[in-house]
Amino acid sequence: MMLLENTDVNKSQWEDLHTYIDNDEMEPFRDEFLSMHPYDQSLFFEKQQEYVRQHIYTYLSPNETADIMEHIELVDIKPFITEMDPRFAAMVIGEMATDDAVDILNELDKDVVVSLLTMMDAKDADEIKELLHYEEKTAGSIMTTEFVAVHQTKTVKDTMNFLKAEAPDAETIYYLYVIDADKHLVGVVSLRDLIVAEEDVRISDVMNENVFAVSVGKDQEEVSQMMRDYDFLALPVVDFQHHLLGIITFDDILDVMDEEATDDYSKLAGVTDTDRPQDGAFAAAKKRLPWLVILSFLGMLTASLINQFEKTLDQMAVLAIFIPLIAGMSGNTGTQALAVAVRGLATGNFSKEGKWKLILREASTGMITGAVCGTVITAIVYVWQGDFFLGLLVGVSIMATLIVATLSGALVPIFMDKLQIDPAVASGPFITTINDIISILIYFGLATAFMQLLI
């Protein structure tokens, strides 16, 4: 039997699905479509025009449509929800895991959210409302309330019977969280522990009391670091009195990691939000303009600084040749140090001692790279221009700017982190422009001070 590539299978299936829709054959469409993985279903769904998707809505149940919606990127989902019949959309959201439903509702306009919650099943609406009031990007905003909690006095046999009844509605059953009579989190028991334990043993005797939990207000990035460090599949969320409120599962943390990485990348690139391929020119420009406007003013400052050294340039115009070289090298080395510092801060790898170690390392790196590059450039300029002192000026300027730029690339994000500002705000364009200003000051300052030697 010949195995087909996944793309070949998709192409064949998509052609069949289009044929079924064109002929309004619902049952064959359902058989073919539902045999696909939900992710593949979402790929097909997203590529269709609206009139085709309207057919799909009539062919699928709210639960089946919910599976598709859960595999679509949040930033792309709003048009699909708003184009559905409002009652059908309310049922679709009601079928989703509570945390996924909350994420989607946070993407919609407030009046739409109110309307959908009104039409939704009362129980589903109440569960969603509980999570909607938590601050965005906190543990409370990404947790789910669909988990299995058992009382510590239950036996293993009773717990297994309880688990069979609750498992269909739970997001994960690998961990069961143990509570006392006041719903305080007191322990955790794994599914493996339940299977191997004797039936008449109480949960309190097999549970692990050393249970890790996070506060409902904890930042989602800190939660993701904790789950990564300890390799948890799920993490319980508690209030300030240690009542169990919900759990955060690994799939939710993967979304958080992707979101945080995208956010850091955007800021490092000097963009307020990442451009998407489907964005129009106006939307892309809107995201890029804020930083560009700020950087243009900083660029004018650089130009005004050069103007201050007009007399120096008049006396020796050849100095202008090396401005792009010095500014470019300082910007590049600053961005390299910045990437290392931001990455370390974002992953939580830097303790207080680690930050000082980073600063000392970057200072040493700047000295080494500066000395090597400065020596090479001195020799090249001397051979090219036949002026040793000009070569020495350019070489020393490069050495000094590389040391300063490397240090600034490490210090600025650490300083911002100290002020509790996202270190990624110290974006590449920002650091590059600041280093341009510093390099110009060093270069022309040295040139002015030692002009007699140059002339």
Identify the domain boundary among 264, 296, 330.
264
Can you give the pLDDT at residue 4?
39
Other C-beta atoms within 10 Å of 244: how many?
A: 22
pTM, rounded to two decimals: 0.58
Residues 131/141, Cβ–Cβ less than 8 Å: yes
308 domain residue, yes or no: yes
Together in a domain, 110 and 233: no
Q: What is the CATH number of the domain that holds 345?
A: 1.10.357.20
Residue among 82, 84, 90 at smallest CA distance from 119: 90
Listed as ranges, residues in the chain with pLDDT below 70 are: 1-9, 260-280, 283-284, 287-292, 295, 346-353, 421-429, 454-455
Which phi and psi (to 5°) does residue 247 adopt?
-135, 155
Together in a domain, 302 and 375: yes
Together in a domain, 202 and 321: no
Can you give the pLDDT at residue 61?
94
Distance CA 366, CA 360 (A): 10
Distance CA 32, CA 349 (A): 48
Together in a domain, 307 and 439: yes
Residues 66/95, Cβ–Cβ less than 8 Å: yes
Together in a domain, 161 and 207: yes
Distance CA 440, CA 134 (A): 48
274 domain residue, yes or no: no
Distance CA 21, CA 1 (A): 30
Can you give the pLDDT at residue 1?
30
Can you give the pLDDT at residue 305?
73
Can you give the pLDDT at residue 7?
47
Enumerate residues 6+ apart whose C-beta is below 8 A from 349. Answer: none
Can you give the pLDDT at residue 280?
61
Identify the domain boundary among 209, 239, 264.
264
Residue-range definition of the domain harbouring residue 166: 149-264
Together in a domain, 161 and 224: yes
Distance CA 290, CA 453 (A): 44
Can you give the pLDDT at residue 288?
64
Together in a domain, 230 and 351: no
